[in-house]
């Protein structure tokens, strides 16, 4: 129903992925509402509606993904004094503690960022706090995300639009995998690396990558942001040639106005 297929990601990434789908003969209906699904002798009949009007799609199988909801009812949370929000997610503080003394919660049930690696990180912080170790906090916005499509999409932090909306003076750097030797050697030149930086200090605000195995490239940027490294420090770090990681270097250079291979 939303304007593009990755509503929480950079619009350019959504268009790049949709373009790759269309090249493989996959039709994408964005901004489209499903009005009904009817079982037929040969599969299913789906009635959709968008600004062009109604259309019926015939398919062997229809998959429906309508989001997540917490499985928190009837397990005694309220009786234990654990506060739930209006959607049923468990309310926690930065320490992963609930409103009930001695009860801690991590993962999807908290509604923070419903990803397995988020739950693992939350579990470590909960264990550290239970053990009385030095407290640390999770910045959920800066946790990496990935869509394991073909091409992959990986991101963290602010999108360009979100950074501008948050009031940052934004500079971006972009590098296309079509100009990356390793990507071409793999026959996977689709996509790009895009970094978003704060113009004032050069600090990383986020990044969006679309391309071959880009979920493996993102940790470099996540580590840099967590340790307050700038785009200049990434650009000065020598990267192996030929490698996909050179796209990160080139995007950082482009954000600084120093790009030479774009």
SS3 content of the chain, % helix, strand, coil (to 5): 30, 25, 50
Residue with tokens 């593009």: 4
Structure token digits, residue 154: 């990986």
Q: What are the residue numbers of the active site?
A: 241
The answer to whether the Cα torsion of 204, 208, 210, 212 is positive or negative is: positive
Q: What are phi and psi of 43, to 5 degrees?
A: 150, -115
Contact, 247 vs 218, CB < 8 A?
no
- CA distances (Å), origin 1, targets 28, 132, 176: 11, 46, 29
Please provide the DSSP assignment of 139-203 as one string.
Answer: -GGGS-EEE-SSSEEEEEE--HHHHHHTT--EEEEEEEGGG-HHHHHTT----EEEEEEETTT-B
CB 162 within 8 A of CB 196: no
Which strands make up the sheet holding 33-40, listed edge to edge?
33-40, 43-50, 53-59
Distances (CA, A) of 25 to 33, 151, 187, 193: 21, 15, 19, 25
* Cβ atoms < 10 Å from Cβ of 246: 22
Say if residues 105 and 112 touch (Cβ distance below 8 Å): no
């Amino acid at each position: 129903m939303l304007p593009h297929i990755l509503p929480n990601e950079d619009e350019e990434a959504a268009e790049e992925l949709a373009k790759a789908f269309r090249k493989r003969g996959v039709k994408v209906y964005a901004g489209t509402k499903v009005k009904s699904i009817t079982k037929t002798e040969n599969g299913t009949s789906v009635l959709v509606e968008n600004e062009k009007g109604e259309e019926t799609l015939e398919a062997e199988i229809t998959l429906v993904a309508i989001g997540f909801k917490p499985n928190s009812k009837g397990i005694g949370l309220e009786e234990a004094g654990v506060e739930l929000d209006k959607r049923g997610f468990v309310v926690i503080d930065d320490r992963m503690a609930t409103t009930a003394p001695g009860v801690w919660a991590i993962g999807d049930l908290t509604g923070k960022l419903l990803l397995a690696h988020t739950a693992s990180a939350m579990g470590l912080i909960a264990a550290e706090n239970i053990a009385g170790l030095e407290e640390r906090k999770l910045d959920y916005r800066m946790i990496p995300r990935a869509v394991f499509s073909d091409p992959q999409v990986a991101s963290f932090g602010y999108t360009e639009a979100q950074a501008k909306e948050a009031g940052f003076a934004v500079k971006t750097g972009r590098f296309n995998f079509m100009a990356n030797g390793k990507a071409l050697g793999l026959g996977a030149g689709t996509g790009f690396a895009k970094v978003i930086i704060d113009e004032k200090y050069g600090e990383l605000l986020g990044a969006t990558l679309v391309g071959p195995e880009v979920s493996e490239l993102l940790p470099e940027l996540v580590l840099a942001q967590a340790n307050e490294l700038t785009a200049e420090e990434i650009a000065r770090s020598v990267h192996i040639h030929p490698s996909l990681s050179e796209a990160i270097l080139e995007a950082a250079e482009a954000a600084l106005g120093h790009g030479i291979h774009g």
